[in-house]
Structure 1
Amino acid sequence: MAVIKVHGFHASTATVMVLCCLNEKQVEYELVLVDLPAGAHKQPQYLALNPFGVVPTIQDGDLTLFESRAILRYLAKKFKGQGTDLLGSTLSEEALVDQWCEVEGQSFNPAISSIVSQILVVPMRGGSTDEAVVEMNIEKLGKVLDIYEERLSKSKYLAGDFFSLADLQHLPFTHYLVNACGKGDLITSRKHVNAWWEDISSRPTWKKVAENMKFN
């Protein structure tokens, strides 16, 4: 079987999410570095793979696929019989995984990505953090995490008592929030959210990619 090529960048949240999924599924892959700081993602060679000029993009044989969440579902389905089952084993479990994946994309991600961008990315690009934007999104994220706290008081993971894509999708941005942005109290102040985070962030499949999440 051909090795899956992942065109991405080691500090990219979307890239490491895909790499973690591949680790969970025990799939061999090759990371092809796209040098984002040098603008490689906007060059013709990469745009031929992904016309939107963002990472990651995977190549699996004749298939070229972009958009990280679409890639996750493809990998989880193609390799369902090996590694960790990230989709659930019944229709009801699959529906709950889909539900919480949607929550991550529509409610959790917009707030947390804005916080991380303002605190971490904007200053790296020579700008100044907009504290009003940070505070507004901390409030939004707090409301989402309050719902998570209630949910996780009843189940070990978001979709039930099994680790799934619904949990995996939260790893990259929460990693930066806790370890690089000084906002870990949003997690640690919530007993069940904190226990969940300590659980999922300690998975060897995640730690393998998290150790390389540096911008230089």
Structure 2
Amino acid sequence: MVLKFYSFSSPTAGCGAVALTLLEKRVPFEVIHVDMADIKTPEYLAKHPWGQVPMIDDDGFILYESRAICRYLAEKYADQGTPLIPTGLTAKARFEQAASIELANFWPLVRRITIEAVYNPRRNLPVDEAALAQARSELPAKLDVYEVILGTQKYLGGNEITLADLFHLWFAPPLNRAGHDVMLNRGPNVTRWWNDISSRPSWVKLQAEGIKSVS
């Protein structure tokens, strides 16, 4: 039974992360496009009590939360596609360290910038200018540390790409479309790393075509 992937059509946030992982791991899947009304129905809530996307149904195994889904896919299909989670003890520890760095230091700030600079104006909601200014002022210091880390290795977890790197692409599409490229004019190591991960063929394909089923 082909894996079912419940998702919005746009490769943004968690939906984009899961779609990217599926493509990198060369996993066939059937995408089931849903909208905001669909994910609040009793039928959907019976599977995903939070009423969100993404979610997968892998032959009856239901899993939600994008980072959990990506880890599951990377480990289940470890022997195909791009290796995205190392297997050695120390290498995996460095991957988990890098994943924690993204979750604690990068994601909260870029998420806040996306909400206040893109989503709230689009929905005619008030913009928290103070929160937006704070996130924009804090992000450069975080990326200065990235610059140091990436000066000694190719990727955040070492010299091989991992999920920790790909997770940084979550909010790139809406920010770039709105002219808020948060990675513009950073240090040379950050710029080199960002150009590397954002130009991967799987990611370029998602930006061009959206999230589509793969047989």
TM norm structure 2: 0.91
5-14 vs 74-83, which moves further:
5-14
- Stretch deviating more after TM superposition (62-71 or 118-127): 118-127
Would the alpha carbon gap of residues 91 and 78 (structure 1) be closer, same or farther in structure 2, given more than 3 Å must change? same
Number of the residue aligned with 1:23: 23
Match of 1:34 in 2: 34
* Aligned position for 1:86: 84
Residue 51 of structure 2 aligns to a residue in which SS?
coil
* Inter-partner Cα distance in structure 2 for 1:9 and 1:128: 24
CA distance in 1, matches of 2:177, 2:130: 19
How is 1:103-122 mapped onto 2 (pairs within 5 angstroms)? 103-122=101-120
What percentage of residue pairs aligned between the two structures are identical? 38
Judge conservation of contact 1:115–1:137 (CA < 8 Å) in 2.
yes
Contact 1:111-1:138 at 8 Å conserved across structures = yes
Instruction: Provide the residue aligned with 1:130 in structure 2.
Output: 128
**1:1-216 alignment runs, 5 A limit:** 2-11=1-10, 12-36=12-36, 39-177=37-175, 179-184=176-181, 186-212=183-209
- Pairwise CA distance, 1:180: 2.5
Q: 2: CA distance between counterparts of 1:186 and 1:7?
A: 30
Opposite residue 31 of structure 2, the aligned amino acid is L
Superposition deviation, residue 140 in structure 1: 2.0
Query: Secondary structure of the equivalent of 1:211?
Result: helix
1:212, distance to aligned residue in structure 2 (A): 4.6
Partner SS, residue 65 of structure 1: strand
In the TM superposition, residue 153 of structure 1 has moved relative to its aligned partner by: 1.1
* Distance in 1 separating the partners of 2:124 and 2:103: 28
- Kept in 1: contact 2:25–2:77 (CA 8 A): yes
* Native 8 Å contact 1:122 1:128 kept in 2: yes
| CA distance 1:191–1:15, change in 2 (3 Å) | same
1:213 Cα deviation from its structure 2 partner: 5.7
* Root-mean-square deviation (Å): 1.7
Distance 2:149 2:196 in 1: 16
- Which has the higher relative contact order, 1 or 2, with Cα contacts under 8 A spaced 6 or more apart? 2
* Distance 1:124-1:180 versus aligned 2 partners, 3 A rule: same
Residues 1:82 and 1:185: Cα distance change in structure 2 (over 3 Å) = closer
Cα pair 2:40 2:51 within 8 Å, conserved: yes
TM-score of the superposition, structure 1-length normalised?
0.91
Inter-partner Cα distance in structure 2 for 1:25 and 1:187: 29
Please give the alpha-carbon distance, in whole angstroms, between the structure 2 residues aligned to 1:134 and 1:68: 25
Provide the rounded CA distance (Å) in 2 between the counterparts of 1:142 and 1:176: 20
Relative to structure 1, the CA distance from residue 131 to residue 180 in structure 2 (aligned partners, 3 Å threshold; closer, same or farther) is: farther
Q: Aligned AA for 1:200?
A: I
Q: Secondary structure at the match of 1:159?
A: coil
**How far apart are the structure 2 equivalents of 1:64 and 1:104?**
26
Q: Secondary structure at the match of 2:57?
A: strand
Change (3 A) 1:30 1:188: farther
In structure 1, list runs of 5 or more residues that go unmatched.
none
What's the secondary structure of 1:100's corresponding residue?
helix
